[in-house]
Structure 1
Amino acid sequence: MSLMTMATLMALACLCLAPAVGAPATVSARRPLRDNDTLVSAQGKFELGLFTPAGSSDGRFYLGIWYKNIPGQTVVWVGNRASPLSGVASAELRVSAEDGNLELVGPTAASASPVPVWSSNLSSSSSTPGSNNTAEIRDNGNLVLLDGGNTSKVLWQSFDHPTDTLIPGAWLGENKLTGEYQVLTSWRSAQDPAPGMFTDTVDPNGTSEFFYMWNQSRTYWRSGVWTGRFFATMPEATRNILFNQTYVETPTYRRVSNALYNNATITRLVLELTGQTKQYTWVPASQNWQLFWAAPTVQCDVYALCGAFGVCDLSSQPSCRCPPGFAPASEGDWTLSDWSGGCRRSVPLWCPHNGSTTDGFLTLPNVKLPNDSDLLAVGAAQSKAECESACQNSCSCEAYTFSAGRCAVWHGELRNLQQLYADSGVSRSSDLYLRLSAIGLRDLHSSGRKGGRSSWLVRGMTLLGVVALCASVILAWRILVARRRRRLVHMANEKDKGSSLTVYSYGELQAATNNFSERLGGGGFGSVYRGVLKQQKGGNTTQVQVAVKKLESLGRQGDKQFRTEVSTLGLIQHVNLVRLLGFCSSSNEKMLVYEYMPRGSLDRYLFRAGACPSWRDRYCIMIGVARGLAYLHHGCRECIIHCDIKPENILLDEDMSPRIADFGMAKLVGRDFSRALTTMRGTIGYLAPEWISGQPISAKADVYSFGMVLFELISGRRNSERCSEVDDVAGTGRCGSSAFFPVWAAGKVLEGEVGTVADPRLRNDVVPEELERACRVACWCIQDEEAHRMTMAQVVHALEGTIHVHTPPVPRALQNLVKLT
């Protein structure tokens, strides 16, 4: 709260106002909100006033609600989205004395005199004209207009009219009496809150399903129907650990709303201008909004994100780009992440109706084909040349494909183009031949020769120019290939010089390890040795300790492990992932060189006789490993599934910071699809049920393994060991008869007896809140069905305490497993 003088406090007291930051507590006909004044909720959580979008400099002002105490203005509601004010000098938010409406008046670009730009639009029967209605902002972020004759009666509220953000307590759905829909609508751009292209709305046909729509005409994502506990395509765990989501249908309305388990949690659901709905939570420790989940998960699943002729490419930043020969229709809009205007040809087509066009075609390889609305199948075309001719002979034809003997041509603007990559899992992909003018093709060819950067092969030239251009195209292509090879060699040399992996000879590593004399440990594919390497820095020679993993009895599987580990760790770096420094790959020997971890692996530190890490160390290890896995799953270009999370593959540095190691079994999954079918890999005792049943696996397989590791960190014992009466240390009742420990522990968590799960060697020296949190997270991670498990991003938030985790059920699969063993 701002510091106030005594005179100010006395003045506010005389006005009978609740204390608020520089603002009246209510708005009324006699007490409007003027100029730069703001209205603050009773506990200072939310603020109402006029704002200018961040980064905007054109003098547009909007009525909005934002979080009061969060750095950087995060707006959750906007009133006059499509009708901005041009200034605040004479702006006023007031209650109309004539009809009792809450209204905003002020100057606009069309009128220097104050005019109404927004109103609550109460019906004539809702309020008595001339009444003393008042408006206030509440601590849940809801702006309400109250009846002057009965202040318990809400005449209008912002929760009934969401914009792009849904906060807890607000709702989406349909008012059956008025026919009005409560809809989320994206901003037009980062600096323009006007309604954009994407909406989130309940099914107009009356079902409980919610649709994400482009231009209010095409559905690109669906929530699935309400099952009674959650929406069919949305993970149940997402609902359970953050808020309680409910869908209710009555004769008056059908709607969905969220109620927080913990009121201290700050979270918001936003329909981004990119068409994805994203759930964010505020993390006070880092003073940042953290992404909790997104739908659809893949950005390019948003329909027509990049507009006409734009290509969505997950490998580029931003995700939208224009094909060669095209440029953004509005450069200014693209800089603000508004790609809806799409792309236009740099050189217009030339297509006289006498059929003498010299337009040609540019090949866009391996793209997801555009929608079928303007698709025409040409059955008479028996070859690619005939298909091309069919398109070229029609001035309205924009592109064609010829695949498996089928010719298809597109007329009108092409939307929803997506760049695909190998093993994308998308069946409807092909080379697309995009029509360009002869001048445009020639310009592309020239720029390719000058810059050496063109990665697009220009094909399909018209018969009129093919003879003249054929030789030059072949020559240009050879030049491009040669330059590309030289560039790749140069890049490889640069990597070897410094910032990336170093290539070592066998002799260098043999000398560094003193002929492999100090063995640190081993696994299924070889042994790890301690070594010392010399490094040159700034003219000085320093020594650095390393761990050298020598792969033995390779065979095809071991060789594959070597290549997987080099290609995976060579591209990523994270504080909780072991760093790969280099490798040796001679004809008979393959070795990997890692940074040295002085405390060794977690299993030695946790399970060896006499060892008992403190609860603080254990909890830091839990969070560190979770962060490392979250990075692998969500922070890399491709989702990396480790496939073998266990204490042996978690290393500890001098400060007890954990590093995930051993990526030889890792699986890379493209962002175009969410799971992979692969042979079973990993370690018994940490394998998720889907591994054993032979189903395709996803990142949730790592989540399961992490849950098992959590139990081991909590209890200080191997999960593979059975409990017996001898485990009952000092009569604690810990683990009776012959139960499988995770099952027993999950039962104790369900009963609320988490203290009995902790390692008795800690002698109750634990943080109870952290212990309960870790136990509940572990139980959610080992649920039978993937959809019921948390994501690693959610695990991080839960362990950090930024979201609430409620009591999970005991996994049925583990109970059945115990019965069979």
Structure 2
Amino acid sequence: MDTIAATIAFLLLMSSSAAAIRAETQPPKQKVTLGTSLSTNGTPWLSPSHLFAFGFYKHDRGFFLGIWLVSTVEETVVWTANRDDPPVTSNANLQLTVDGKLILIEKGQEKLIAKSNGTASFASMLDSGNFVLYNNNSQVVWQSFDHPTDTMLGGQSLPCGGQLFSSLSGTNPSTGRFRLKMQDDGNLVLYPANTTDTARDAYWATGTDDRHGSPKNRLYLNNTGLLQIRNRSDSNIKDLHMLGGSNLANRSQNIYRATLEFDGVLRLYAHVYNGSGKKIALWPDGSACQVKGFCGFNSYCTFNDDQPVCNCLAGFEFKDANQETLGCQRNSSKAECTSEKDSLAHYNMALMNNIEWEDHPYFEAEMSEEEECSSACLADCSCWAALYQKNRCKKHGLPLRYVKRTGLDEPVPPMAFLKVGNSSLTNQKPISTQPAPLIQSSSNKAVVHVIVVILIFTLFLCSMIAISSHYMYKIRVLSYKRLAETWNLGLNEEVALRRFSYNELKRATNHFKEELGKGSFGAVYKGALYKGRRLIAVKRLEKLVEEGEREFQAEVRAIGKTHHRNLVRLLGFCAEGSKRLLVYEYMSNGSLGQLIFGDQRRPDWEERVRIALNIARGILYLHEGCEAPIIHCDLKPQNILMDEFWTAKISDFGLAKLLMPDQTRTFTGARGTRGYMAPEWNKNTPISVKADVYSYGIVLLEILCCRRNIEINVSEPEEVLLSGWSYKCFVAKELNKLVPWEAINKNVLENMVKVALWCIQDEPVLRPAMKSVVLMLEGITDIAIPPCPNSSSM
């Protein structure tokens, strides 16, 4: 009987697949001809049986262009064009142009919807839910099935490497927080969006991977509800769901769809023609609390009347009370912590049982008691949470990812310790005591006399104060005038940025005569203020369109309020009409690049170590010492300048990215200099301060070896890429090859190289924070053996 059932299932699959292929390859019955247009209030382009419609559907803030399942009960959207663009207005228009392009026109602006690989002659909305462009030979040149959003329909495949992305919410079709990927290794996996394809981030998988072969698997949903994984020879690898369920009549008359919904669950639905839909399967098989990332950072998932809800960890509160899935932030301000004494003064530890999270600790050790683990975290300024289980203590920083509750029946449940701000002292109500009157008298006349005397004395005292203040003002006015120039030269720079006039800077630079250097947005000139007593460097932005204005504003915002001995000081700026100039303190010894790559003076080993530590402290201040974290984005030797005492100072904040006070990551376009950019710049992933840590690792290797990261004229091919060569020398214990001209302490060199190799790890989570980098460079913290940085291997 099992053999007969399998044979019937296979025949149904093959017949439905053949029918789908015939339907897609035969010329369509209803055609949308060239020159046809569609407005937001016009009739959509319908499939022959009026099952699906292509056109504009209504949204709270306008209209989206998409495909939906036509139903008398409810309309289900299955595809949206340009889903991350804002909704269009009611004046938008869709047009299949005479030259075969499908474009969206709004306010005179055109946007291409379908990038066909050939000239289209007509279009058609098919009963399969696929919108297709055909050439004059009725061959498909573009189809919506090749560009899925969050949904697959019957007859549609998700190819090897293809992904579905959930919507942001039930009413917002923009790209959401979860993705389904058909991986190259043959495994179908669910991940949170913006994560790497690693098992640590996955929360459901089919287990169909084959790392030794080349499976090229695809996910296929046929027209009878059979959801399968099939290989390149179209053989069945695994059935995820069989033939639409036993409670559904007329399976071949239903419309099936698999949708990755906004809560991260993949659900399979069956829709009766012109009727409602019915959920028939879901993955993962359980609740949304099994979805990693359903609740954001520092929060965990529980149930309230069978509905998943997010809760904050102790010491945290929701970022947005109306959107609890966005995660939680600290409910108290972060105190300054430089030592164990500071941590003990401002924080204590809160215990939460049966709570754990999936992330790499930055420290792990055996401890016999949970109190020892809690105390170790409390005394550590870098530790914000600790997990204790089976005599193992793991320290973690923030944020905490993938927090979850464990089963109450677990034999050795984990204990989570959270560092929270000290609770405020109990407000005790003071004992109220009525002061005794100054003068007690039963005579009203005596009271009046006392009041009169007090008023006269008060009036006399006020008169004396007024006269004295007048004469003191007169005396000091002259002194203030005499000190005005000194004030402008010194203290005024300490208080705020000064706004210069263009003519003033033109005179200071002698009509921009002496050029110090030139960058992508303009040149830097040497100048002098206050009769030559204060040397300055004036950066004049020349490409003032969008990029120049952006750089100007970014630089002023980034370092206008910063003050650190390892950051170049911004003294003021000029913004007159289209003219934009920045005024810095003058750095007399040029850039670090000239110092370590030039042919003149090469700094000795001790000086190079000091310079590396100076730079690290400056980056640490940008990341943790400012009111809001600053990502420099363009760290390289040319942007590090040397003052008259050979102190290294970080400069050029034109590409810097400011975060919100409690923000740790952000999306932004690629910026920086090739060779120093972290790998995540080239991926669609959020950027954090760890991007600067990567750049610092490259700079540190260049400082140690006094050569560029990429050198063509070398004796051996393996020496072309410094980062890769350094790792090979480290593994082979031949670090002396990196600095053959100099006799130095091998242990110090090894530690410095290990720090650099940790900094240039491909995964941001493996890179240390700059605070840890400074501690390692100072010799306070032990340095573990770093793994091989993949992007640096030859």
Shorter-chain TM range is 0.3 to 0.5
When Rg is computed on C-alpha atoms for both structures, the one with the higher figure is 2
Which protein has greater RCO, CA pairs closer than 8 Å, 6+ apart? Answer: 1
TM-score by length of 1: 0.42
